[in-house]
Structure 1
Amino acid sequence: MFWKILGVVVLVWIALAILGTLIKALFPILVISAIIFGLYLVYKAVSGSKDKSPLGKF
């Protein structure tokens, strides 16, 4: 029983380590893409185009 509990703890620890590394690596990409998308929405709002796309309705 002890080894099963220890095995589960080790597996959870490894999973959290991998998940933390992925989040740390992908967070800058997420921030940059959110900024670019926000700038795109601002550009579409300011340009006043007559495009009827769903993004123009924000």
Structure 2
Amino acid sequence: MVCPNFIKIYLLFNLFVIFFYSMVLSSFTLHYKTISIKKLLVFSNQRDTIATFQAE
């Protein structure tokens, strides 16, 4: 027989792992989104400078 305390600890551990994993995943996706936004901004800035250079 498995004691109830072990089941409680196991469930708490599972909750902690799920919580930790979701936190890491959300921070990673947020970081990735900011990186892609920065790349898009840099790309648009380069395109604007090229357009102004061609206009002159």
Which protein has the larger Cα radius of gyration, Structure 1 or Structure 2?
A: 2
Using CA pairs below 8 Å that are at least 6 residues apart, which structure has the higher relative contact order? 1
Q: Which runs of 4+ in 1 moved over 2 A?
A: 28-34
Q: CA RMSD in A?
A: 1.9
User: Unpaired segments of 5 or more residues in structure 1?
Assistant: 35-58
| Matching of residue 12 in structure 1 with residue 39 in structure 2 | no
CA deviation after TM superposition for structure 1 residue 27, in Å: 1.1
Which letter maps to 1:14? Answer: I
Aligned to 1:49: none
% of aligned pairs identical? 12
| Matching of residue 27 in structure 1 with residue 38 in structure 2 | no
User: Unpaired segments of 5 or more residues in structure 2?
Assistant: 1-21
